[in-house]
Amino acid sequence: MFFETLLLATGNRGKYEEFRAMLPDSFVGRLLFAPEVGALVVDETGDTYAVNAMLKARAWARASGLPSLADDSGLEVAALEWGPGVRSARIVEGTDEDRNRWLLGGMAGRKDRRARFVAALALSIPGAWTLVCEGDCPGRLAEHPSGEGGFGYDPLFLPDGFDVSFAALPAAVKNAISHRAAALRVLQELLSCEGSSGDSPHAVDV
Amino acid sequence: MFFETLLLATGNRGKYEEFRAMLPDSFVGRLLFAPEVGALVVDETGDTYAVNAMLKARAWARASGLPSLADDSGLEVAALEWGPGVRSARIVEGTDEDRNRWLLGGMAGRKDRRARFVAALALSIPGAWTLVCEGDCPGRLAEHPSGEGGFGYDPLFLPDGFDVSFAALPAAVKNAISHRAAALRVLQELLSCEGSSGDSPHAVDV
């Protein structure tokens, strides 16, 4: 399936740039940045990434008449009872730096630094269907922020297999291993009709 | 795509029987009725059919490990400001007959009897993806209930093109024209990779 035009339902420029780099030309022609299309406030009232991603994608699809892709994602930290999770972007008012400071404060003295990024992507076709996929990326938290790339908690997140943060990795590396990349693979597999039906042993493709 | 086993995430026997009749053998081998698999209470906290269908499908998929299909549907009545909608099954405590009496009471003296049934279906593959599709069936409300088939508000709903209620139509006819049938067609088209990407002029299949 190919989309001539796809709206990315986010006001986060970092997310937009990331998706622009990740989405292959064979899948999307032109990727629109939501604030350049219009103004729309979507209440993210869901308790899960999946519901919030769907709310955003459907609201933008309905308002614009365009196929719309939304992401809802968060950081889950073992020592913080796997929070802040779905509230990651809203747990502290302010900037990404403020939230990274809050996170380091909460981790002071903690030995268990396991963490994972989780993302849900929702692709909504106006009046037709919405597809929601999830992905994650396991890792651990650094003692100090590092790197200039990415956004959000990226400067503190060391993905498994690497000793540098998401923010310090080349974008192409992050975009190959990230939670968003994992979710996007499931979405593309399903839409490309390559026969994937997920990991379920109960689903068989014919 | 073919599912050897699919769980229908509903406690409503009428809905189960309807889906069993509608789902072709080429799509589903065995359709399980949720109460025969386990007990699970899902809070339908969404404001839309789509969110509620997704909440039910995902909760059952996660709990059972099985691909799960959920429906959330409602009746929208022009003279009742297009309600009761997403609250159709909960607007009055009691039986279907109680709710049909409530509806007739609310319609007393109303000339505009336009109504439509709307359904969202959510198909969730554990740990992989959830697909949500919607469909509707336009019609009008009868002055009196009739028919023995179907469930819910079926005895009062006269689908466009017919002078008898959903409850009085042969099941095969209802199942060809219903809101659930419309939603199921979109879902099957997408999963059969027949090239449908909905009605959007912006999506082109390759």
The yes-or-no verdict on residue B194 having pLDDT over 80 is no
CB contact under 8 A, A203 and B58: no
pLDDT digits (tens, 9 = 90+) for B122-170: 999 999 999 999 999 999 999 999 999 999 999 999 999 999 999 999 9
For residue B162, what pLDDT is reported? Answer: 98
- Do you find a cis peptide bond into A84, omega within 30 degrees of 0? yes
User: What's the mean per-residue pLDDT of chain A?
Assistant: 92
Q: How far apart are CA A169 and CA A117, in angstroms?
A: 15
Q: Which amino acid is at A160?
A: D
Nearest-CA distance B143 → chain A (Å):
31
For residue A112, what pLDDT is reported? Answer: 98
pLDDT digits (tens, 9 = 90+) for A17-29: 999 999 999 999 9
Q: Which positions in chain A have a beta carbon within 8 angstroms of at least one beta carbon in chain B? A: 1-6, 26, 45-48, 50-51, 54-55, 58, 65-67, 125-134, 186-187, 190, 193, 197-200, 202-206
Mean pLDDT of A58-74: 97
For residue A206, what pLDDT is reported? Answer: 33
The yes-or-no verdict on residue A195 having pLDDT over 60 is no
CATH entry, B3-205, from 2.40.30.10, 3.90.950.10, 3.40.50.980, 3.20.110.20: 3.90.950.10
Mean pLDDT of A43-52: 93
For residue A197, what pLDDT is reported? Answer: 42
The yes-or-no verdict on residue B63 having pLDDT over 70 is yes
Q: Kindly indicate the confidence band of residue A60, based on its pLDDT and cuts at 50, 70 and 90.
A: very high
* ipTM of the complex as predicted: 0.88
pLDDT digits (tens, 9 = 90+) for A72-120: 999 999 999 999 999 999 999 999 999 999 999 999 999 999 999 999 9
Mean pLDDT of B27-39: 96
Q: How far apart are CA B45 and CA B55, in angstroms?
A: 8
Nearest-CA distance B140 → chain A (Å):
22
- Do you find a cis peptide bond into B84, omega within 30 degrees of 0? yes
With helix as H, strand as E and coil as C, how does chain A read? CEEEEEEECCCCHHHHHHHHHHCCCCCEEEEEEHHHCCCCCCCCCCCCHHHHHHHHHHHHHHHHCCCEEEEEEEEEEHHHCCEEHHHCCCCCCCCHHHHHHHHHHHCCCCCCCEEEEEEEEEEEECCCEEEEEEEEEEEEECCCCCCCCCCCCHHHEEECCCCCCCCCCCHHHHHHHCHHHHHHHHHHHHHHCCCCECECCCEECC
The yes-or-no verdict on residue A156 having pLDDT over 50 is yes
The yes-or-no verdict on residue B195 having pLDDT over 80 is no
Please give the C-alpha separations between residue B164 and each of A79, B51, B109, B171, B173, in angstroms, as whole numbers. 62, 32, 21, 13, 11
For residue A127, what pLDDT is reported? Answer: 92
For residue B112, what pLDDT is reported? Answer: 98
The yes-or-no verdict on residue B201 having pLDDT over 50 is no
Question: Catalytic residue positions of B?
Answer: 72
Q: Kindly indicate the confidence band of residue A193, based on its pLDDT and cuts at 50, 70 and 90.
A: low
Domain boundaries, chain B: 3-205
For residue B193, what pLDDT is reported? Answer: 60
CB contact under 8 A, B205 and A2: yes
Write out chain A residues lying below 8 Å of B126, CB-based.
198-200
For residue B203, what pLDDT is reported? Answer: 40
Of B2, B45, B126, the CB nearest to A205: B2
Q: Kindly indicate the confidence band of residue B94, based on its pLDDT and cuts at 50, 70 and 90.
A: very high
The yes-or-no verdict on residue A194 having pLDDT over 60 is no
The yes-or-no verdict on residue B171 having pLDDT over 80 is yes
∠ CA A21-A27-A28, rounded to 5°: 65
What percentage of residues in chain B have a pLDDT greater than 90? 90
All residues at 6 or more sequence positions from A94 whose CB lies less than 8 Å from its CB, including other chains: none
Mean pLDDT of A136-160: 97
Instruction: Among A75-84, B66-75, B80-89, B197-206, name the one with the lowest average pLDDT.
Output: B197-206
The yes-or-no verdict on residue B206 having pLDDT over 70 is no
**Shortest CA distance from A56: residue in chain B:** B51
pLDDT digits (tens, 9 = 90+) for A114-133: 999 999 999 999 999 999 99
pTM: 0.90
